[in-house]
Amino acid sequence: MYTSYFAKYKGSEGVAITVTLPAWAKKHKRYAPLTPTSELLWAYKNGRINELQYEKQYLKILEDRGLTPKQVLQDLGNDAVLLCFEKTGYFCHRHIAAEWLRKNGIEVHEI
């Protein structure tokens, strides 16, 4: 499995895990189970929570949804590329999701 961001990734295996999609990225399928809630996203963007709080709340959302790394792999396959807006090196839920998958035995590489 892989991760990248919309502006960089030009392939066909892209899977959006974002609340919204850029108009030009409609070719990518969406995978709602890994999408943060709008409330969580805006709480972070508006400075009401910090990165650590965001991470804890995001992982709790995945848990509350009953999502498992095994299910993500089964649903998306090894070649899926999880996409969001943030460039490599910036804080975002894509990196939290990738680490969650890695901690549970799934290889994930940033493109």
Structural domain including 74 reads 2-110
Say if CB 83 and CB 16 are below 8 A apart.
Answer: yes
Supply the pTM of this predicted model. 0.92
Number of domains in the chain: 1
Closest CA to 108 of 36, 88, 61, 51: 88
Strands ordered across the beta sheet of 14-16: 29-30, 14-16, 81-84, 2-5, 109-110
List, for residues 58-76, the tens digit of each pLDDT value. Answer: 999 999 999 999 999 999 9
List, for residues 9-50, the tens digit of each pLDDT value. Answer: 988 789 999 998 888 777 889 999 999 999 999 999 999 999
Distances (CA, A) of 102 to 19, 44, 49, 96, 109: 23, 24, 25, 10, 9
Residue 87 structure tokens: 């460039």
What is the average per-residue pLDDT within 82-96?
A: 94
pLDDT at 68: 97
